[in-house]
A and B are shown apart, each in its own frame.
Chain A
Amino acid sequence: MEPGMYAYRCTACGKLFHPARAVCRECGGREFEAVPLEGEGTLLTYTRVYALPEGYMKPWLGFGIVEFPNGVRVSGQMNTEDLAVGMKVRATVGTVKEGVGRDYYGFIFEKAAQA
């Protein structure tokens, strides 16, 4: 499967979740449909972490919480040094961690092109 990131919409009430859940928090529904999470979002907060856990051979890495226009908020890595709360960012999908036998992919946000 092509790596992609999704929100999960409750088929009963339409509430969106990321990541997937077994039960909808709003209505208790148990069926969801995948909705692609892509494009631009707004950076709500961010940090640069200098004490990374085992497995990361880098001096620091940026992280942020991003809100998509559909209201879904996610955490991700930041692939830009130019960070500010409220800035527009663009979601890309890439390898966020190299694992033994498998890599993990997830959101890597970049600064959105100026409109």
Chain B
Amino acid sequence: MRKVGIAGVGHTKFGRSEVSLVDMLALAALEALDDAGIRTGRRHGVDQVFVASMGAGILNRQSSVASALVDTLNLQPAMAETVENGPASGASAVKLGYMAIASGMCDVALVVGGELMRVVTGWEATDFVATMLHPDAEYAYGLTLPAFAGMFTRLYMDKYGVTEKDLAMVAVKNHEHAMHNPVAHIQLVPSFHAIIEDEDAPVINPYVAEPLRVYDVCPVSDGAAAVVLCAMDLADRFRKKPVRIAGIGQATDTHVVAEREVPTDLLAVRLAAQRAYAMAGLKPEDIDVAELHDAFTILEIAISEEAGLFPKGEGHLAVRRGETRVGGRIPINTSGGLKAKGHPLGATGVSQIVELVRQLRGEAGGRQVEGARHGLAVNFGGFGNNVVATILSKEE
């Protein structure tokens, strides 16, 4: 199998898009192509395009988005597919791009993830995201992702002693990181005291799904992110030295959350991470920086444990010790994470990879993790029933 790298990255400002879904995807794609040094036009050399989008069909009433993107970028006759794997669509698309090149089927692939969500109200967005749950046993009840996250959090608190303050620390940390990331949606650092300790806190930071509060939940954002994948044996063609995709792991778990034997475990995360480490020949101790799917603050803690960065039940202790902030032992969500950077569903998995590339290239500015060589991304689909872990390594 050929080695595969990332030659270029692009990322729109997350938040509220003024342009259409395809135009937004094109903005991220062009930035990534420029970053890679690929000239657009008739001799572009892009063999394959993957577009990750969870909601184009439902939210934007548009199908075959990849074909539309190829058209606007005039990348014909490149192969093109749209990839849907819930909120893990982005990492799935990167995985398919990897497979396309590793197999020898093509040399250069453009992977773009994006979501235009703010065309609907918050209630409709919550409803749309919940359509990935089991239709009869979950969705029909009005159950949503925040509902499952709330029930999961309560179990975690009872079993491991995680507190609402620990969760607020994750939120504040990620918002602080986002202040150094110009493409992050929320450019505001909440005050720890104000959102959790002050007597006004119950009203200004109310519960969304007990015991999770507003500041434990990611915002609804528009945005797109893109990467250019290439065969490492063609590295000389590009402007910058590609960052290598060292390992990818994916795993599924029961769709129906209530059926999980140990309800505080996220087995698909554990297995996806193990598979990625095995493929990369690395261990959790080798990871220097991680982007973990913090759609809810509790998930950053739980995923950090399942991915082996901390023992199970001790992730919140690492948060308390400051180990997961930039400057700490293993900085997590340096981009601001889903919590502060935003979570445009299809974009998120690609956005995590973009952040790792910037970290491994040393281009992360005020949030740079010094000397980072290996980065881990975990993109979480469903309530943990379809998870993709990706490990990137800097080529020496």
Contact = CB atoms under 8 A, between A and B. Distances in A.
A–B contact (CB under 8 angstroms)? yes
Interface of A: 17-19, 44-56, 61, 63-65, 73-77, 85, 96-97, 104, 106-107
A49 B146 contact: yes
A69 to B, nearest CB: 15
A49 B140 contact: no
Q: Which 9 A-B pairs have the closest CB atoms?
A: A47-B150, A53-B127, A104-B140, A54-B127, A54-B123, A45-B151, A73-B258, A53-B126, A19-B137
B134 A44 contact: no
Contacts, number: 108
B263 A45 contact: yes
A7 to B, nearest CB: 11
Interface residues of B, number: 36
Given A44-B155, A63-B147, A85-B158, 17 more contacts: A47-B209, A47-B210, A49-B144, A49-B208, A50-B206, A51-B144, A53-B124, A53-B127, A53-B142, A54-B127, A61-B142, A73-B258, A75-B137, A77-B141, A77-B142, A96-B142, A104-B141
Contacts of B123: 51-54
Contact of B263 (A44, A49, A51): A44
Which label, helix, strand, loop or mixed, suits the secondary structure of the A interface?
strand
B138 interface: yes
Interface of B: 121-124, 126-127, 130, 134, 136-138, 140-144, 146-147, 150-152, 154-155, 158, 206-212, 256-259, 263
A75 B258 contact: yes
Given A77-B142, A96-B142, A65 B151 contact: yes
Contacts of A104: 136, 140-141
B344 to A, nearest CB: 19
Given A54-B121, A73-B259, A47 B147 contact: yes
